[in-house]
Amino acid sequence: MSALCKQTIFKLIQEEKLFTDYVNLEDQLQPNGFDLTIKEVGKLAGAGVIGTDNKERILSEILPVDFDQDGFAHLSQGVYAIVVNEIVTLPKNLMALVRPRSSLLRCGATIGAAVWDAGYSGRSQMTLRVDNTLGLKIRKDARIAQMVFFTLDEAAVVGYSGRYQNENK
């Protein structure tokens, strides 16, 4: 397994549509990954349920948070659901992880994200946790996290086919 570099990511964007609906390719393409930008913010407003199978799973209710006339959302301390602008389509020989951008961390906030399995396609949702007691002001389309890609030792025979396949497209 190895991580992909900027040149390889760019080639996959151009040839295989690894990403669509990005905001600014030049700004988002990084030496070791691709920056994701914020499309929507919602406040978690209910408890979730995680059981032993998918039939018992209940996702938390999410209430939309509006961006003001200048394009900013004013977030108090707490946990939010965010949707990114970019649609990612992973081939069966790649998986991805997402980490918060360092500027977000330096403002007292972080991103919670899972593994992106080979074969996944969608406009992803993740959590934004604001720990700063004074809150966070964040602009729509701001770069908030970086997706890093890893090649698998061999392509998955069956790619991701779970509940979140093709989400938010």
Q: Regarding predicted confidence, which is higher, 163 or 41?
A: 41
Instruction: State the pLDDT at residue 111.
Output: 97
Please state, in angstroms and rounded to a whole number, the distance separating the CA atoms of residues 52 and 39.
32
Average pLDDT estimate for 49-65: 92
Instruction: For residue 10, give every residue at least 6 positions away whose Cβ sits within 8 Å of its Cβ, in sequence order, or none.
Output: 29
Q: Domain spans of the chain?
A: 6-151
- In 22-86, which ranges are E strands? 29-30, 33-44, 62-65, 72-75, 78-84
Domain 6-151 homologous superfamily, CATH: Deoxyuridine triphosphatase (dUTPase) (2.70.40.10)
Which candidate, 143, 141, 113, places its Cα nearest to that of 128? 113
Instruction: For residue 102, give every residue at least 6 positions away whose Cβ sits within 8 Å of its Cβ, in sequence order, or none.
Output: none
Handedness of CA 159, 92, 124, 44 (dihedral sign): positive
Instruction: For residue 143, give every residue at least 6 positions away whose Cβ sits within 8 Å of its Cβ, in sequence order, or none.
Output: 27, 28, 35, 36, 37, 101
Instruction: State the pLDDT at residue 62.
Output: 96
Q: Are 87 and 121 in contact (CB under 8 A)?
A: yes
pLDDT averaged over the chain? Answer: 95
